Structure 1
Amino acid sequence: MSIADSILSINNDLPIRTELPVHSGKVRSVYWLTEQDSRRLIEEKAYPVPHDTPLAIMIISDRISAFDCIWHGEGGMLGVPGKGAALNAISNHWFKLFKQQGLADSHILDIPHPFVWIVQKAKPVMIEAICRQYITGSMWRSYDKGEREFCGIQLEEGLSQDSKLANLLMTPSTKGILKGIPNVPEADDVNITRQNILDNYLAFNFEKPSDVSLYEKLLTEGFSLISEALAELEQVFVDTKFEFGYVKDLDGNKKLIYMDEVGTPDSSRIWDAQQYEQGNVVENSKEGFRQLLLNHFPDPDILLNKQRMLERQALAKDNALPVEVLMQVSKTYIDIAEKITGKSLVLSENPKAEIIQILQDNYHLID
């Protein structure tokens, strides 16, 4: 079997029983189960949720997204081998650690296969919760242009690129396009301040003002926990994005949880600590792929300038990347997953067939 065959690129065409359209994001697809199947699984598997909780099957892919585009390789390579399994394994590891340390639960109820989560429906908080311990990326580009205020936080003079910040900074942005919020542009991924959130907490889907402090607590505690664990592995946790949502506990009370993914090479920057101490930045995350794209194409402004999105989409569609590039990205993901989890990543030759078999035999969800 070829490498291309082992890549799960299309993940929205599985014959899972559902009455709603499959929702596909950049990397994951979500299949909402019927009310009957949700209730049956909650009872059969004793999931710790109210019996009327809607459930979904969330299937990750090996697609790679960067600069809001999906990229592909030569020879029909429509993704990165091992990427999906690596992302899920890392998220599973951190979610489990968060729960053990008493931080908060996640939306995951079951893990039938390395590519699959069974999740409970959550009401998402409409914030990309971003934490930064180092000045790099978009923050550095803004700082380098002379900007000193970032998400309402005043930055001191004299910072250098990739240097450690005096404090861990929370720099939230909008998740999706939010309308009618004073001083918040109606666009996706807009930087916002803590005051914006407090003044309009309901518009961001917070239940009460005190939950803004709770999300900040869960964000900083989660960051610190991952940062300390990575430091023991000689890795630097540079910055990350968390997402939060509300679910109901067994008594029907709403509680704030972690959702989406945490501490992965897709949602975080991770640097090699030894190299960083020597003055070099070696990326062990998707940031390395982004830098590669910026160096690969003659006009990097297409990738950085949101006004040139049509050109950017054409660039991604019309340019098959060299196989060795995607294999290097594969190595980055697999290596960091095995380092974090302490286990070998088992790669499937035909993940789609395996998923269908498991969901049929053990969950009776295949029509």
Structure 2
Amino acid sequence: MSLADQVLAVNDDLPIRTQQAVHSGKVRSVYWLTAEDSQRLIQEKGYQVASDAPLAIMVISDRISAFDCIWHGESGMKGVPGKGAALNAISNHWFKLFKEQGLADSHILDIPHPFVWIVQKATPIKIEAIARQYITGSMWRSYAKGEREFCGLRLPDGLQKDQKLPQLLITPSTKGILTGIAGVPEADDVNISRQDIQANFSAFNFKTADDINAYERLLAEGFAVIEQELAKLGQIFVDTKFEFGYVTDANGQEQLIYMDEVGTPDSSRIWDEAAYQAGQIVENSKEEFRQMLLNHFPEPDILLNKERMAEREALAKHNALPVSALMAVSDTYIKLAEKITGQKIVLSANPKADIITILREQYDLIV
């Protein structure tokens, strides 16, 4: 079987029983179960949620996105072998650690397969919760041009590229396009300040203004947990993106939880500590792939300039990347996942068939 066959690139065509259209994101697809199946599984599996909570099957893929585009490789490679399994394994590990240390729960109720989560429906906070411990990436590019204020925070003069910041910075951006909020552009992924959130907390889906403090605390505490664990592995947790939402628990209480993914090489920058101490940056995250793309194409401005999105999409569609570039990502992700979890990532020869078999035989969800 070829490498291309081991890649789960299309994950929105599984015959899972659902009454709604499948929601397909850049990497994950979500199948909302029928009310009957949700209630049956809650009862059969003993999930600690409200008896009428809507459930979904979330299936990850091996697709790789960067600069808001999906990329593919030569030889029919539509994704990165092992990427999906590695991302889920890392997130599972951190979510479990968060819960054990009393931070907050996640939306995951069950893990039937390395590519699959059973989740409860959450009302998402419309914020990309970003925390930064070092000045690099887009923040450095803006800083180098003379900007000193980011998301309402003032940075001192004299910082150097890739330097550790005086303190952890929370620099949120919008999740989705929000309309009618004074001072917030109607565009996805725009920087916002804490003052913006406080003045319009309900527009960002916060139930109360006090929950702004709760999300910031959970972000900082989650960051600290991952930072400490990665330090034991000789890795630096540079920056990351978390997402949060509300769920109702089995007692009818509303809770703020972690959702999406946490601490993965897709959502975070992770550096090798020994290399950093020697004055080098060795990326153990998707940033390595982004840098490869910037070096691979003769006009990197296409990838960085949001006003050239049409050209960027054409670039991704019409250019098959070298297989070696995708395998480098595979190697980075799998090694990092195995280092973090202490367990081997075992790749399936036919992940889609395996998922269907498990969901049919153990969950009775296949039509």
- TM over 0.5, shorter chain: yes
Q: Shift of the alpha carbon at 1:234?
A: 0.2
Match of 2:120 in 1: 120
Look up the match of 1:68.
68
Alignment partners' CA distance in 2, 1:63 and 1:249: 33
Q: CA RMSD in A?
A: 0.4
Letter in 2 for 1:230: L
TM-superposition CA deviations, 1:48-79 (whole Å, max 9, x none): 00110000000000000000000000010000
Q: Distance in 2 between matches of 1:182 and 1:29?
A: 33
SS at match of 1:147: coil
Partner Cα separation in structure 2 for residue 150 and residue 205 of structure 1:
22
Deviation (angstroms), 1:287: 0.3
Unaligned 5+ residue runs, structure 2? none
Deviation at 1:249, TM superposition (A): 1.1
TM-score (structure 2 length as normaliser): 1.00
CA distance in 2, matches of 1:323, 1:249: 45
C-alpha deviations, 1:201-254, integer Å up to 9, x for none?
000000001100000000000000000000000000000000000000112121
Structure 1 consecutive aligned stretches of length 4 or more whose deviation exceeds 2 Å: none
Match of 2:239 in 1: 239
In the alignment, what sits opposite 1:300? Answer: 300
Q: Give the whole-Å Cα distance in 1 for the aligned partners of 2:182 and 2:328.
A: 45
Three-state SS of the structure 1 residue aligned to 2:195 is: helix
Query: Is 1:350 aligned to 2:359, yes or no?
Result: no
Alignment partner of 1:363 is 2:363: yes
Q: Determine the structure 2 residue equivalent to 1:338.
A: 338
Per the alignment, residue 290 of structure 1 pairs with: 290
The superposition leaves residues 60-106 of structure 1 with CA deviations (integer Å, 9 ceiling, x where unpaired) of: 00000000000000010000000000000000000000000000000
The whole-number CA distance in structure 2 between the counterparts of 1:137 and 1:175 is 19
Given the two structures, how large is their TM-score scaled by the length of structure 1? 1.00
Between the aligned partners of 1:126 and 1:176, the Cα distance in structure 2 is: 7
What is aligned with 1:154?
154
Q: CA offsets, 1:303-338, max 9 Å, x none?
A: 000000000000000000011111111000001101
Cα shift at 1:158: 0.3
Please state whether the residue corresponding to 1:14 is helix, strand or coil: coil
Question: Who is 1:143 aligned against?
Answer: 143
Q: Distance in 2 between matches of 1:54 and 1:99?
A: 22
Structure 2 residue identity aligned to 1:243:
E
Q: Give the Cα separation in 2 of the matches to 1:184 and 1:70.
A: 27
Q: Distance in 1 between matches of 2:312 and 2:131?
A: 27
Query: Structure 1 CA distance, aligned partners of 2:329 and 2:94?
Result: 22
Deviations 1:22-53 (A, max 9, x none): 00000000000000000000000000001100
Deviation at 1:178, TM superposition (A): 0.4
Q: How much identity, in percent, do the aligned residues show?
A: 73
Alignment of 1:48-87 (within 5 A): 48-87=48-87
**1:134 alignment counterpart:** 134
Deviations 1:250-306 (A, max 9, x none): 121211000000000000000000000000000000000000000000000000000
Q: Give the match's secondary structure for 1:181.
A: coil
Superposition map of 1:1-367 within 5 A = 1-367=1-367
